[in-house]
Amino acid sequence: MNHTRYPSADAAELYGVPYWSSGYFRVTEDGKIQVTPEPGLSATLQDVVDELVARGESLPLLLRFPQVLSGRVRQLSEAFRTAIREYGYAGSYQGVYPIKVNQRRMVVETIAEAGQTYATGLEAGSKAELALCLAQDLHPEALLCCNGFKDDGFVKLALWGRKMGKNVVITLEKLSELDRVLRVSKELGVRPAVGVRFKLHARGSGQWEESGGDQAKFGLNASELLQVVARLREEGMLDALVMLHCHIGSQITDIRRIKVAVREATQTYVNLVQGGVELKYLNVGGGLGVDYDGSKTTFYASMNYTLSEYASDVVYTIQEVCKKAEVKEPTIVSESGRALTAHHAVLVVPVIDVTGPTRQQPLTLEARPDQHQIVADLEGLLNDITLRNYREVYNDAVADKETLHNLFDLGYLSLHDRARGEAIFNSILQKVARLVQGLPYVPDELEDLPKVLADKYICNFSLFQSLPDNWAIQTLFPITPLARLNEKPTRQATLVDITCDSDGKIDKFIDLRDVKSTLLLHEPDGRPYYLGIFLMGAYQDVLGSAHNLFGRVNEAHVVALPGGKHRIELFVRGQKARKLIENMGYEEEMLRESIGQQVARAAAAGRLSPEEASELGETYSEELLGYTYLEEL
């Protein structure tokens, strides 16, 4: 099959790879996507997938790159170190990873290991997360921040962490938690380290803007903050208050909002210090964004600043306020989770079929002698389309198609004529779309034609399990073929998953100027065709649902080596059907017993031969232990 040659630079531009990848992915000259975690190290994603398929592993497949995670920890920490050196800042910086973003073992342990050099800590928002964090081997100075609402058990576990010698700070999310912390600490004989989340008036920008401001779910207002100070002073424990914590939301798109919030937080810090509180840490919270669409704007899927600009503005703003007030500059803490984890994971999904209106052949159904006039009218419109009349023809065709369906509903049109009429209508749309493609102005009623005519590429995955944020809050993720990027893509497409749900589709795609309703893909040619969905390392692992009982996918942990080689360090199999069924309250033994009884009755009634009964039982057992996604395609 002949393919139109396509420069790799054009493919990279089409899919926006240089803009959203932060340098971690690139398009090679032979049209493949490579991961590039460090200079001199690279791995071709298609080669990794081919190796796993040759080993008999199934897709969909999640590729994790631990070197990318480690690189993000270094980049963030070094960005702050650089800013601190440039401005002569008297304090230091310590990062904290909020594990709610992704609690998977590989993620947490990789970040903890990479953070040893920088005293990177962890943040827990529940007792289970705290139990996980306490077990990690962290730098002695690394913070272990306990956020979220707390009961006695949560506080006890945190205080035992301090007894172990860990730098555990209990963040007060509401005023009443102070009594609990004081009571439990006295019972255990442990002096706590306390932080306070303060509700800033400033708010973030983007989808999570409402999580900050005066009406935020967590945090104390100014009056409550002063009550905490007074109570601790009264208890002779004012030195236990070591951290002021502020947070204005996730994925903050506008750097100006960050600077305003940091200034307000620092003014609060200054007032507390001037009032006798010897705070050590100023925690500016999370919100460091990820540029999902590469546009570098304030659009909700982007951010108008770089990681270095973020660090510089935070350091400069805190220093400016502290110097003016002649107050000691604090240790800066940030809780960046999305920015650390998003880049390290790529979901690879195989295209298993293609459907759509352009796949229909109008002349496969021949006109019959008794063909209805409405079908003949549509055929006439198809033959008469020109640049002069395409708009009029389009509007006439839409009206005729409505009439076509009304006639069928009333019994005046045969199924054959309906099928032929619909096929001709689709051909009209395709012809109109080709005519207007190069025009400087496209009429409003024709703007949606590419989406209407787009092919549906059916992909073997579950949107609800693997990309819940795309379904729930319309988060955009970059999507790119893993190979054939040296061939010009010619098919406008949307993606659909294999769930029995009409919401299981992706029909919005990244673009530097807007949101696209279709994605350019290659015409199927009989070879396996894999799509990579990128920047999905944050939240998707932990928010996925078991809709249709599709479980977690297989995953491979991949290390890039010199010379474009790779090593698969670990392969983790996805969930089996049995596990998902048991999660719904069923027991495997009960299921097998029920099937066994029904098979026995069917065999006794002569509906199944002994051989068929045995084969049915074996098939049932195999599927209980099998991958939940489609196999042997």
The annotation status of 292 as a binding-site residue, yes or no, is yes
179 marked ligand binding residue: no
Rg (CA), the chain: 30
Note the pLDDT of residue 216.
Answer: 52
pLDDT in tens, 105-126: 999 999 999 999 999 999 999 9
Using DSSP's 3-state secondary structure scheme, residue 266 falls into: helix
- Position 353 confidence tier, pLDDT thresholds 50, 70, 90: very high
pLDDT of 535 > 60? The answer is yes
Taking 70 as the threshold, does the pLDDT of residue 35 lie above it?
yes
> What is the per-residue pLDDT for 352?
95
User: What sections of 23-65 are H helices per DSSP?
Assistant: 45-54
Asked if the model's pLDDT at residue 200 lies above 70, the reply is: yes
Does 500 participate in catalysis according to the annotation? yes
Q: Which two tokens stand for residue 99?
A: 């594990």
Domain ranges across the chain: 67-342, 373-450, 578-625
Give start and end residues of each alpha helix (H) in 235-372: 255-274, 307-325, 338-341
Contact 302, 253 (CB under 8 A): yes
In this model, does residue 309 exceed pLDDT 50? yes
396 is in an annotated binding site: no
Which tokens belong to 313? 């503005």
pLDDT band, residue 74 (cuts 50/70/90): very high
Mean pLDDT score, 457-465? 95
Pairwise CA distance, residues 435 & 35, whole Å: 40
**pLDDT tier for residue 457 given thresholds of 50, 70 and 90:** very high
Q: Is the pLDDT of residue 570 over 50?
A: yes
pLDDT exceeds 60 at position 213: no
Q: What is the pLDDT of residue 436?
A: 83
> Looking at the domain 67-342, which fold is it?
TIM Barrel (3.20.20)
- Residue whose structure tokens are 């030195």: 239
Three-state SS for 364-425 is HCCCCCCCCHHHHHHHHHHHHCCCCCHHHHHHHHHHHHHHHHHHHHCCCCCHHHHHHHHHHH
Residue 214 pLDDT: 54
Tokens linked to 133:
């964090």
Q: Is there a binding annotation on residue 284?
A: yes
Residues 492-503 have a mean pLDDT of: 93
In this model, does residue 204 exceed pLDDT 70? no
Position 357 confidence tier, pLDDT thresholds 50, 70, 90: confident
In the predicted model, what is the mean pLDDT of residues 548-573? 95
Instruction: With cut-offs at 50, 70 and 90, classify the pLDDT of residue 360.
Output: low
286 in a labelled binding site: yes
Q: Which CATH class is domain 373-450?
A: mainly alpha
Q: What token pair was written down for 597?
A: 């009884």
- The 10s digit of each residue's pLDDT in 578-608 is 899 988 898 988 998 998 999 999 999 999 9
The 10s digit of each residue's pLDDT in 431-454 is 888 888 778 888 888 888 888 888
Asked if 195 and 143 touch (Cβ cutoff 8 Å), the reply is no
Cα distance between residue 554 and residue 57, in whole Å:
8
The rounded percent of the chain whose pLDDT value lies above 70 is 95
Q: Catalytic pick from 145, 246, 322, 500? A: 500
Residue 285 annotated as lining a ligand binding site: yes
Average pLDDT, the chain: 92
- The predicted model gives 504-519 an average pLDDT of 92
Record the tokens describing residue 160, joined without a space. 């035992």
pLDDT in tens, 365-423: 678 888 899 999 999 999 989 888 989 999 999 999 999 999 999 999 999 999 999 98
Find out whether 287 is annotated in a ligand binding site: yes
Record the tokens describing residue 158, joined without a space: 């945190």
Long-range contacts of 225-231 (CB under 8 A, 24+ apart): 225/196, 225/198, 225/268, 225/272, 227/175, 228/172, 228/175, 228/178, 228/196, 229/272, 229/275, 229/277, 231/178, 231/182
How do the residues of the chain divide into helix, strand and coil, expressed in percent and rounded to 5? 45, 15, 40
Confidence tier at 363 by pLDDT (50, 70, 90): low
CA 363 to chain centre: 44
